[in-house]
């Protein structure tokens, strides 16, 4: 946490509070929220400074004298007050004690069973343990001679307000009240920790002042006190169970949920209850909890932050806590995700002002808490924010179901799969059915090699991680059950072996309960209709439903259900980008199954001695990947999975590549080099979560692409190949669309300030708000002129002080009507609001607030207008991506050097195909420094009529 910027010494601020305690007249006691008092006093973790302790001691002595008794009868009752919501760390809204001096302490921890950490306490004496029972632990201070000063307390997280309370309504000494020996108005149970320090016959003042202790002792004592206080409160974390009460060793254990016993809920403070209601549903996720200007992590999450990243950890709100500033949230999320953690974001959904307005209208317990909601869960396979994405290629989240049926001819069970996967950065969904796969799961393996999913969602109940330790007796009965026919029986051991052996080691496995969490086909159709993701079903989903592809629809249901838990389903599915995927495209592409893709080193090099990303630099895709744009690289990856098989299509592509190897390619390459990721940006615009800077870059990129595509044909005339002409013809006209949005807002303001300010006439709501403000400001100008004329004084001006704007500053020599409200004054002038002026100032403030709200909504409305043209813009992006892929192949061809030639592809319909290569070299060797490599001739098959 950043250190406090408050320069006022803490002792000085505390002294002020104490003096006000003795000098303020006694008032009628008022009720104080006991929950707030208990929470405050349980958290009081610092001791008072020496000078404050002396003042308290002197005050008690003075109270014992006759004059002191009179003073005691006049002093104000101290009311212990805590800001609502157990104010968090580090800022005005985050500092529990309100002194702006909070800094987290680094509490040493030892990992305990099931992730609950224990404090390391070494050589604690009885005296240390006795002092540790008090939550007011010490800070070190040095005496003038550098000797160790006596330990002295400070009133932490307390402040004395004019409201008063019954805390000192009797003759109890103030020092006893602070120590906790007597606290009228509070339950005795809530003061047990404080009271224990005063049970000794030794005066409390002597207990606090002796013996001197080191900072290490204080830290140990603080850890001991915290561990002792929370040993019972959080004992249930020593025996982790899921929401169903199952331990991690149970096959049905759900690692996402946590069981919290009823007794624990009863003891939680309102803030603890708010936190654990969210955390118990995301136990396997690191939860960043927004408090003020910080995101805080508690309990196990705080331990992870401390152990993985050495973040400072302290004890707050009865829990271990670590935190990061709001401004660095994206940085820390990226760090946690890179380490393999899932991250949940909980944000405040109302401002402090809105909370206060709500409190005035409600007496319900717990309403004093700021409203917070889970706004998203970030995982490695479902990232959508461009600032968190680390690569241009697609990262997929896949859902899979396995179904079995009895073959009518043979009577044997056959295995089929329904699969759905999504690239969340572009909102592109794909679904497919793999019918009657073989025992080796070749069809599934091929799909896995092509997609390489980062996360796999499957039905809980069958095989999975830890399967070898489970009872396998379910398999024979489960695979023949009714659940197996619609994919709700889980996956078999053979399928699990294929998944485990084919997917990367970093793949995350997510199991969902059948039907309730992983929807079957009927539930998927019901949920999609009730969620109203789209007005009419996309063609791919419609075809799957009509052709009774029940497994594919079930896979879509499992994927959407999982995305719903991440708060992503509506943003992604509502775009309607669903397509049928064919792992082996027999009609258009060569069939490359999983083993072929692996053995040919298409994406990864598997040769002996090679490994890691360095070896993958010599794969076929790495050789071809010279695309200039991120969306071009993703299309080239798909091309590499499915190479063309028809001679006409191959020759058309070769003609385009040969054309781009000339001067035309150099000009296009220069235009493509600076384009942003248009495909991903369009997806963020649809979701309404696009940053202004990214939106501006997208408009500029579309304008650049529109320009060079329009100039491609005129610059080269009739020499342009057929495929390039077809792409130019398919490129939609963007002139009107770009002109509309470039004239909609001030680009200069957007670039400089990161906000969209509409031009006049672009947004009717903003125009109306601006007209209202201008009308009020004209009235204010006229009112000033009238005041000068009325009082015969031209020196009258408006003065703005804080939130009280437009104060009429009038010399003291001028008499004003009694109806004028004086707001401030100096020796020379007084400042007023006239009755009319006061009303207009309020109207202007409300008009400005309305304008601000309209501006906040303008960005959303502008994105919605642009999203209506999604089909047109995506068509343009697809054309640009294909041009980029062709240019990448041209660049790769030129990089091969000489000798090289264009292959001749013959469309020979006669029986017997063949390939014949002369002087063949491996492309990676050709690009290297090998000089003694011997070229080879290869002939497969025989030319018709050859001997």
CA–CA distance, 604 with 620 (Å, rounded to integer): 8
Instruction: With beta carbons less than 8 A apart as the criterion, state whether 137 and 144 touch.
Output: no
The pLDDT value given to residue 360: 62
User: pLDDT tens across 414-435, in order?
Assistant: 899 999 999 999 999 999 999 9
Quick one: average pLDDT of 816-840?
Answer: 94
DSSP three-state, residue 421: strand
Output the DSSP codes for 116-158. Answer: --EE---S--HHHHHHHTSS------B-TTSSBPPP----TT-
- Residue 629: pLDDT band (50, 70, 90) is very high
Identify the residue whose tokens are 């003891």: 267
- Other CB atoms closer than 10 Å to residue 586's CB: what's the count? 9
Write the CB contacts of 575 (distance below 8 Å, at least 6 apart in sequence): 427, 683, 686, 870
Q: List the structure tokens of 884.
A: 């980029």
What DSSP element (H or E) covers 885? helix 870-895
- Residue 888: pLDDT band (50, 70, 90) is very high
User: pLDDT tens across 699-751, in order?
Assistant: 999 999 998 888 887 767 678 899 999 999 999 999 999 999 999 999 999 99
Q: Is the pLDDT of residue 447 over 50?
A: yes
- List b or e across 716-734, with b for residues whose CB sees 16 or more CB atoms inside 10 angstroms: beeebbebbeebbeebeeb
Of the chain, the percentage scoring pLDDT greater than 70 comes to 68
More confident residue, 833 or 60: 833
More confident residue, 573 or 590: 573
- Residue 205: pLDDT band (50, 70, 90) is low
**Which of these, 328, 252, 292, 336, lies nearest to 85 by C-alpha position?**
292
Q: Is the pLDDT of residue 295 over 50?
A: yes
Quick one: average pLDDT of 851-873?
Answer: 91
Q: Is the pLDDT of residue 76 over 90?
A: no
Give the side-chain half-sphere CA count within 13 A for 66.
0
Write the CB contacts of 544 (distance below 8 Å, at least 6 apart in sequence): 431, 433, 552, 553, 556, 580
The pLDDT value given to residue 921: 77
Instruction: With beta carbons less than 8 A apart as the criterion, state whether 89 and 321 touch.
Output: yes
User: pLDDT tens across 908-921, in order?
Assistant: 666 567 788 888 87
Quick one: average pLDDT of 671-677?
Answer: 90
Instruction: With beta carbons less than 8 A apart as the criterion, state whether 85 and 292 touch.
Output: no
CA–CA distance, 76 with 65 (Å, rounded to integer): 19
What distances in angstroms separate CA 719 from CA 724, 819, 902, one per listed residue?
10, 86, 18
The pLDDT value given to residue 102: 37
Could you say which DSSP state residue 381 is in?
Answer: T
More confident residue, 526 or 126: 526
Contacts 24+ apart (CB under 8 A), 524-527: 524/553, 524/554, 524/556, 524/557, 524/560, 525/553, 527/557, 527/560, 527/561
Lowest pLDDT segment from 270-284, 285-299, 313-327, 754-768:
313-327
CA–CA distance, 213 with 222 (Å, rounded to integer): 13
Quick one: average pLDDT of 517-526?
Answer: 94
Instruction: With beta carbons less than 8 A apart as the criterion, state whether 542 and 525 touch.
Output: no
Q: List the structure tokens of 637.
A: 């990856």
Lowest pLDDT segment from 113-127, 296-310, 577-591:
113-127
Q: Is the pLDDT of residue 535 over 50?
A: yes
Instruction: With beta carbons less than 8 A apart as the criterion, state whether 137 and 152 touch.
Output: no
Q: Is the pLDDT of residue 122 over 80?
A: no
- Residue 673: pLDDT band (50, 70, 90) is confident
CA–CA distance, 290 with 244 (Å, rounded to integer): 29
Identify the residue whose tokens are 């929220």: 33
Quick one: average pLDDT of 751-758?
Answer: 90
Instruction: With beta carbons less than 8 A apart as the criterion, state whether 280 and 260 touch.
Output: yes
For helices 678-687 and 870-895, the axis angle rounded to 10 degrees is 160
Write the CB contacts of 195 (distance below 8 Å, at least 6 apart in sequence): 179, 180, 181, 188
Tell me the helices (H) and strands (E) count for the chain, helix number first: 37, 20
Q: List the structure tokens of 941.
A: 């098959």
Calculate ∠ Cα 284-287-293, nearest 5°: 170
**Which of these, 46, 79, 92, lies nearest to 169 by C-alpha position?**
79
The pLDDT value given to residue 364: 60
For helices 692-716 and 722-730, the axis angle rounded to 10 degrees is 140
Quick one: average pLDDT of 162-181?
Answer: 40
Quick one: average pLDDT of 625-650?
Answer: 92
**Which of these, 803, 864, 801, 790, lies nearest to 834 by C-alpha position?**
790
Q: List the structure tokens of 636.
A: 């080239």
- Other CB atoms closer than 10 Å to residue 363's CB: what's the count? 7
The pLDDT value given to residue 109: 40
CA–CA distance, 837 with 835 (Å, rounded to integer): 6
DSSP three-state, residue 332: helix
The pLDDT value given to residue 856: 82
User: pLDDT tens across 349-370, in order?
Assistant: 776 656 665 666 666 655 667 8
Whole-model pTM over 0.85: no
- Mean pLDDT comparison of 580-594, 855-869, 920-934, highest-scoring range: 855-869
Instruction: With beta carbons less than 8 A apart as the criterion, state whether 518 and 418 touch.
Output: no
Quick one: average pLDDT of 323-331?
Answer: 91
Q: Is the pLDDT of residue 32 over 50?
A: no
Q: List the structure tokens of 622.
A: 């790495």
Q: How many residues comprise the chain?
A: 947
Round the average pLDDT of the chain to a whole number and report it: 76
Lowest pLDDT segment from 113-117, 312-316, 550-554, 781-785:
113-117
**Which of these, 415, 429, 393, 397, lies nearest to 580 by C-alpha position?**
429
Quick one: average pLDDT of 260-283?
Answer: 91
Write the CB contacts of 624 (distance below 8 Å, at least 6 apart in sequence): 636, 640, 888, 889, 892
User: pLDDT tens across 593-619, in order?
Assistant: 888 888 888 888 865 433 444 456 778
What distances in angstroms separate CA 238 from CA 233, 285, 491, one per listed residue?
11, 18, 32
Q: List the structure tokens of 397.
A: 């989240």
CA–CA distance, 829 with 807 (Å, rounded to integer): 11
Lowest pLDDT segment from 118-122, 141-145, 341-345, 827-831:
118-122
Calculate ∠ Cα 869-871-873, nearest 5°: 70
**Which of these, 725, 723, 734, lies nearest to 701 by C-alpha position?**
734
CA–CA distance, 903 with 91 (Å, rounded to integer): 69
SS (H, E, C) 490-546: CCCHHHHHHHHHHCCCCCEEEEECECCCECCHHHHHHHHHHHCCCCCCCHHHHHHHH
**Which of these, 638, 718, 658, lies nearest to 878 by C-alpha position?**
638
Burial classification of residue 929, based on how many CB atoms lie within 10 Å of its CB (0-12 exposed, 13-18 middle, 19 or more buried): exposed
Could you say which DSSP state residue 316 is in?
Answer: E
Question: Cα torsion at 589, 590, 596, 601 (round to 10°)?
Answer: -70
**Sign of the CA dihedral with 278 first, then 279, 283, and 288 last:** positive
Peptide bond into 899 cis (omega under 30): yes
């Amino acid at each position: 946490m950043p250190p406090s910027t408050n320069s006022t010494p803490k002792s000085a601020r505390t002294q002020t509070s104490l003096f006000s305690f003795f000098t303020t007249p006694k008032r009628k006691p008022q009720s104080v929220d006991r929950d707030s008092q208990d929470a405050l006093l349980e958290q009081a973790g610092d001791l008072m400074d020496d000078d404050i302790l002396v003042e308290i001691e002197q005050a008690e002595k003075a109270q014992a004298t006759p004059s002191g008794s009179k003073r005691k009868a006049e002093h104000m009752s101290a009311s212990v007050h805590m800001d609502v919501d157990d104010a968090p760390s580090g800022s005005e809204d985050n500092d529990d004690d309100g002194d702006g001096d909070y800094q987290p302490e680094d509490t040493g921890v030892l990992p305990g069973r099931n992730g609950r950490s224990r404090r390391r306490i070494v050589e604690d004496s009885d005296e240390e343990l006795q002092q540790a029972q008090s939550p007011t632990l010490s800070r070190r201070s040095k005496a003038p001679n550098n000797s160790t000063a006596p330990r002295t307390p400070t009133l932490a997280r307390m402040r004395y307000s004019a409201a008063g309370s019954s805390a000192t309504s009797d003759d109890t000494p103030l020092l006893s009240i602070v120590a906790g020996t007597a606290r009228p108005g509070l339950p005795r149970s809530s003061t047990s920790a404080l009271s224990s320090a005063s049970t000794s016959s030794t005066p409390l003042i002597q207990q606090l002042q002796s013996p001197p202790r080191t900072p290490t002792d204080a830290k140990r004592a603080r850890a001991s006190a915290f561990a002792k206080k929370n040993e019972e409160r959080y004992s249930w974390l020593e025996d982790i169970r899921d929401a169903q009460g199952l331990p991690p060793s149970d096959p049905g254990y759900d690692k996402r949920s946590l069981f919290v016993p009823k007794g624990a809920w009863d003891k939680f403070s309102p803030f603890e209850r708010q936190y654990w209601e969210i955390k118990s549903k995301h136990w396997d996720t690191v939860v960043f909890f927004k408090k003020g200007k910080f995101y805080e992590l508690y309990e196990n999450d705080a331990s992870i932050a401390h152990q993985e990243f050495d973040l400072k950890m302290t004890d707050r709100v009865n829990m271990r806590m670590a935190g990061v500033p709001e401004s660095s949230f994206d940085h820390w999320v990226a760090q946690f995700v890179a380490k393999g953690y899932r991250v949940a974001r909980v944000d405040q959904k109302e401002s402090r002002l809105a909370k206060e307005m709500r409190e005035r209208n409600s007496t319900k317990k717990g309403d004093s808490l700021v409203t917070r909601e889970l706004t998203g869960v970030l995982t490695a396979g479902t990232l959508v924010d461009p600032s968190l994405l680390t690569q241009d290629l697609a990262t997929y989240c896949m859902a899979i179901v396995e179904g079995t049926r009895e073959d009518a001819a043979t009577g044997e069970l056959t295995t089929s799969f329904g699969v759905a996967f999504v690239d969340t950065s572009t909102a592109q969904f794909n679904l497919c059915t793999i019918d009657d796969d073989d025992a080796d799961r070749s069809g599934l393996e091929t799909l896995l090699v092509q997609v390489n999913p980062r996360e796999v969602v499957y039905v809980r109940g069958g095989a999975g991680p830890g399967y070898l330790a489970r009872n396998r007796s379910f398999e024979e009965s489960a695979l023949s059950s009714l659940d197996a026919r619609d994919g709700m029986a889980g996956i078999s051991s053979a399928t699990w072996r294929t998944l485990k052996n084919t997917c990367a080691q970093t793949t995350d496995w997510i199991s969902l309960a059948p039907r309730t969490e992983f929807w079957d086909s009927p539930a998927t159709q019901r949920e999609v209709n009730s969620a109203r993701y789209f007005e009419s079903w996309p063609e791919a989903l419609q075809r799957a439903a009509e052709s009774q592809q029940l497994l594919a629809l079930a896979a879509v249901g499992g994927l959407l259900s999982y995305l719903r838990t991440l708060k992503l389903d509506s943003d992604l599915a509502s775009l309607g980008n669903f397509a049928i995927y064919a792992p082996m495209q027999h009609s258009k592409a060569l069939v490359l199954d999983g083993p072929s893709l692996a053995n040919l080193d298409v994406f990864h090099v598997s040769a002996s001695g090679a490994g890691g990303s360095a070896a993958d630099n010599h794969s076929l895709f790495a050789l071809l990947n010279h695309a200039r744009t991120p969306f071009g690289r993703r299309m080239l990856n798909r091309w590499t999975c499915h190479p063309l098989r028809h001679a006409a299509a191959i020759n058309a592509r070769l003609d385009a590549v040969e054309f781009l190897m000339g001067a035309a390619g150099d000009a296009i390459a220069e235009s493509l080099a600076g384009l942003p990721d248009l495909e991903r940006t369009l997806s963020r615009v649809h979701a309404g979560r696009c940053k202004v800077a990214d939106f501006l870059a997208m408009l500029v990129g579309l304008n650049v692409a529109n320009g060079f595509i329009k100039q491609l044909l005129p610059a080269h005339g009739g020499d342009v190949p057929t495929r390039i002409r077809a792409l130019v013809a398919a490129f939609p006209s963007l002139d009107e669309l770009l002109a509309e949005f470039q004239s909609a807002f001030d680009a200069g303001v957007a670039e400089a300030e990161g906000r969209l300010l509409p031009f006049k006439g672009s947004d009717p709501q903003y125009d109306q708000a601006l007209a209202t403000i201008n009308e009020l400001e004209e009235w204010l100008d006229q009112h000033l002129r009238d005041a000068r004329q009325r009082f015969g004084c031209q020196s009258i001006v408006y003065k703005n002080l804080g939130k009280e704007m437009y104060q009429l500053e009038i010399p003291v020599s001028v008499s004003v009507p009694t109806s004028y409200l004086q707001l401030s004054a100096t020796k020379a002038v007084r400042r007023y609001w006239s009755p009319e002026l006061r009303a207009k100032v309020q109207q202007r403030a409300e008009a400005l607030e309305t304008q601000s709200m309209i501006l906040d909504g303008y960005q959303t409305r502008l994105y919605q207008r642009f999203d209506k043209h999604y089909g047109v813009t995506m068509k343009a992006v697809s054309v640009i991506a294909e041009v980029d892929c062709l240019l990448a192949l041209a660049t790769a061809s030129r990089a091969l050097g000489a000798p090289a030639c264009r292959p001749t592809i013959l469309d020979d319909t006669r029986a017997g195909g063949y390939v014949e290569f002369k002087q063949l070299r491996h492309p990676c060797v050709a690009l290297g420094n090998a000089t003694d490599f011997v070229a080879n001739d290869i002939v497969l098959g025989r030319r018709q009529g050859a001997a």
